[in-house]
Chains A and B, each alone.
Chain A
């Protein structure tokens, strides 16, 4: 069985669903159609009167991955993570520190600081980052349970703009590399999985589809196809015609 292992839990699905930008009523159907076993959540002030809580719409058995959205530095991320854990839904946390309102790029330096603090407190830390190998190593050394590099700016639906850099993380970092942000189409999710990503996280692409439930199903299939192709191993595709040149090894005795 091909399982994704993070923080002592095993998942057969490699589709992490972001739960933002949906109406609450379809949340359950989207999760089910996508076959997702992990869903991200954010923390905010509670509605007056305690009405309309998202937890009432998330099926049982789903691992919740609270994010620290809204945090602009490491300490704010740490505060949000601690609040999330107090809600009693486990130790998973996706660190997201954003200090740039134009492109919404993650702040790697602050993310590393937050990761170090939270890993020491026993959190299963899944940091969202700009795919930089040196920072990914720092995150690993700080105790991250996985690395979540962005494929393209959040919500841009531009796909794997950072493809080559993500591939380097996959090759060099012995942690699950989960592509997060920018994935706009199932084909892009599939491509990420073919590269060897451990999972793909998507939200906007599904939330903005005409039929979010159907798009979730499409992502599910694409991620599975990409994973299967990765496991199958790519064969040799004939590229150019034969290269006519003098032999390179003709000097052997």
Chain B
């Protein structure tokens, strides 16, 4: 799986929620795009991730 441009290996079948938590993210602080499509927050628990997925995890940073 490609996460923010980096190769990651999924241990087992995981939902977006499982993955984010295992990586240390707070769910309310990030937005996730899977294969170019936004995953709505309410689907974090049901949306599954696969090894072929391209995932972007985005959040706010300082900016003018």
Contacts and interface: CB of A to CB of B under 8 A. Distances in A.
Contacts of B10: none
Contact of B4 (A22, A46, A66, A154): A46
Nearest to A68: B63
B29 A40 contact: no
Nearest to A39: B62
A67 B4 contact: no
Interface string B25-64: 1101111010000101100000000000000111111111
A19 B33 CA distance: 24
Contacts of B4: 45-46, 48
| A interface majority secondary structure | mixed
Nearest to A47: B59
Interface in A46-88: 46-51, 53-55, 64, 66-67, 69, 82-84, 86-88
Contacts of B33: 83
A45 B62 contact: no
A67 B58 contact: no
Given A50-B24, A83-B31, A88 B41 contact: yes
B60 A87 contact: yes
Given A46-B25, A83-B33, A54 B61 contact: yes
A50 B30 contact: yes
Q: Which of A24, A50, A69 gathers the greatest number of chain B CB atoms within 10 Å? A: A50
A204 interface: yes
A53 B62 CA distance: 9
Nearest to B33: A83
B11 interface: no
A68 B29 CA distance: 18
B40 A64 contact: no
B30 to A, nearest CB: 5
Given A20-B64, A86-B38, A43 B28 contact: no
B64 A64 contact: no
B23 A44 contact: no
A54 B60 CA distance: 7
B29 A50 contact: yes
Contact of A66 (B24, B38, B40, B60): B60
B8 to A, nearest CB: 10
22 contacts: A18-B63, A18-B64, A20-B64, A27-B62, A40-B63, A41-B61, A41-B62, A42-B61, A43-B58, A43-B60, A46-B29, A46-B30, A47-B59, A49-B23, A53-B26, A53-B29, A53-B59, A82-B38, A83-B33, A84-B31, A86-B40, A87-B30
Q: Considering the complex of A and B, which 3 residue pairs feature the smallest CB-CB distances, nearest first?
A: A42-B63, A18-B64, A203-B64
